[in-house]
Amino acid sequence: MKGIMSMNRLLSSEIRDDFPVLSRKVHGDCSLVYLDNAATSQKPACVIDAVSAYYRRTNANVHRGMHALAEEATGEYEAARRAVGALLGAPDPEGVIFTRGTTESINLVAQSWGGANLRAGDEILISVMEHHSNIVPWQLVAQRTGAVVKAVPLMPEGELDLEAMERLLSERTKMVSITQVSNALGTVNPVDVIIAKAKAAGAKVLIDGAQSAPHMPVDVKALGCDFFVCSAHKMCGPTGIGALIAPAGLLEGMPPFLGGGEMIDQVTIEASSWADLPYKFEAGTPNIAGAVGWGAAIAYLNDLGIEAIEQRVHERVEDAAARLEAEPGVTLTAHPRKRGGAVSFWLDGIHPHDVAQLVDQSGVAIRAGHVCCQPLMKHLGHPAINRASYSFYNTEEDTTRLLEALRTTRKLFGV
């Protein structure tokens, strides 16, 4: 019954009432059309309230104090960890590490696992569609160790070239780090196939789930990847918190990433020993309110149902892609077989920055630029794209408003 009610809520325009920001106006009297969800999602009132309530009622440092507030704060922080682990199918409860987000999680793996395991001549395989945060950390550790970063090329429709990937894999490949969903093209990559190929070559696999965890059911254990990373702020949660999920056995063998309070067992002036997982990787005071807010976001997403959310976003983005494709003067950047939340495009003859600025004048928020994917822009042969990215609270009317704003822009430019 609850599921059906949630589904009805998801399908109705009432869902938008959960998100205070969606009812605001911009540029005077324009109602907001928020199509920049791949950058960050909006937050429902229950998440905002959970963060506020935490600061109003509970605020204390975790795992240290022996008083009521410290115990409550620790309880809420650890409950959030369990919620993240349950949502994403973590292989071990202590293998859910809170970080600042996807970027920090990848840096943690690159520096800790990579620093300990990569040698000169070893190869790290990424892809041409990766976000900079799944490129630069590998370059940094490659410089340190003498390893080499290689990239799987793309097919014309915006899919990974899996045959080329096969050819690039060898006994030198020690790490394969690939996104599950492209933030720029919208492509959903067949990560099960990628993981199987990488494992057959004896490599470790990291899956960048920044764009998949918000809209798709994810089961890290069933996927069988070594590392899975994501950010709360794209999943209706707060900024400044995310996770690294990995089997405990793998994390136990890795050296710490950051040193400081919380991550130690014993400290002398000469040397230190480390706390057990997950604390070994959580140096310093963590983002406790962020964790509490993420926990509330996960409860909210679970209530709506992740499968229902996936279906909703899929319908919205497929409809948007079809209508953009049919629109004169619009060229889509990719035609992937399966799309995540994003559809990106060019308006012929108008720079993407001009497009984003002009549609913003009608209240429509889209992204313009390289979207943190400069190697992909080089592949596309354009320095920038426009991107509309959807969440379950976007409506068909949002796409209509985007199309109207694009028509106005073309008229202004006389193209």
Contact indicator for 386, 368 with CB cutoff of 8 Å:
yes
Site string for ligand PMP, 227-266 (x = CB under 6 A): ----x-----------------------------------
Figure out which of the listed residues 189, 211, 389, 394 binds ligand PMP, where binding follows CB under 6 A: 211
Give least dist CB 237 to ligand PMP, A: 11
Backbone angles phi, psi at 175, to 5 degrees: -145, 135
DSSP string covering 131-145: -GGGTHHHHHHHHHH
Q: Quick check: 173 binds ligand PMP (CB under 6 A)?
A: no
Is the bond preceding 278 in cis, omega lying within 30 degrees of 0?
yes
Figure out which of the listed residues 43, 81, 131, 367 binds ligand PMP, where binding follows CB under 6 A: 131
Q: Quick check: 344 binds ligand PMP (CB under 6 A)?
A: no
Minimum CB distance to ligand PMP smaller for 173 or for 179: 179
What one-letter code names the amino acid at 383? P
- 136's tokens: 């630069």
Minimum CB distance to ligand PMP smaller for 45 or for 372: 372
Cα→Cα distances 184→187, 192, 270, 386, Å: 8, 21, 48, 9
Give least dist CB 40 to ligand PMP, A: 8
Give least dist CB 39 to ligand PMP, A: 6
Q: Quick check: 133 binds ligand PMP (CB under 6 A)?
A: yes
Minimum CB distance to ligand PMP smaller for 183 or for 409: 183
- Dist CA 185 CA 229 (whole Å): 19
- Dist CA 230 CA 216 (whole Å): 12
Minimum CB distance to ligand PMP smaller for 92 or for 208: 208
Figure out which of the listed residues 159, 208, 310, 398 binds ligand PMP, where binding follows CB under 6 A: 208
- Dist CA 211 CA 186 (whole Å): 9
Q: Quick check: 91 binds ligand PMP (CB under 6 A)?
A: no
Of residues 255, 247, 286, the one with CA closest to residue 273:
255
Figure out which of the listed residues 210, 218, 320, 365 binds ligand PMP, where binding follows CB under 6 A: 210
Of residues 53, 93, 97, 48, the one with CA closest to residue 76:
53
Q: How many CB atoms lie within 10 A of CB 177?
A: 29
373 in catalytic set: no
Q: Quick check: 103 binds ligand PMP (CB under 6 A)?
A: yes
Q: Give the residues across from 330 on adjacent strands.
A: 347
Give least dist CB 255 to ligand PMP, A: 22
Figure out which of the listed residues 107, 183, 187, 394 binds ligand PMP, where binding follows CB under 6 A: 183
Minimum CB distance to ligand PMP smaller for 344 or for 362: 344
CA dihedral 4→8→10→12, nearest 10 degrees, is 180
User: Which entry of 30, 230, 372, 373 is annotated as an active-site residue?
Assistant: 372
Q: Of the listed pieces 126-134, 145-153, 166-174, 250-258, which binds ligand PMP according to CB under 6 A?
A: 126-134
For the chain, first and last CA: distance in Å? Answer: 52
Backbone angles phi, psi at 394, to 5 degrees: -80, 150
Minimum CB distance to ligand PMP smaller for 126 or for 201: 126
Contacting residues toward ligand PMP, per CB under 6 A = 38, 101-103, 131, 133-134, 179, 183, 208, 210-211, 231, 372
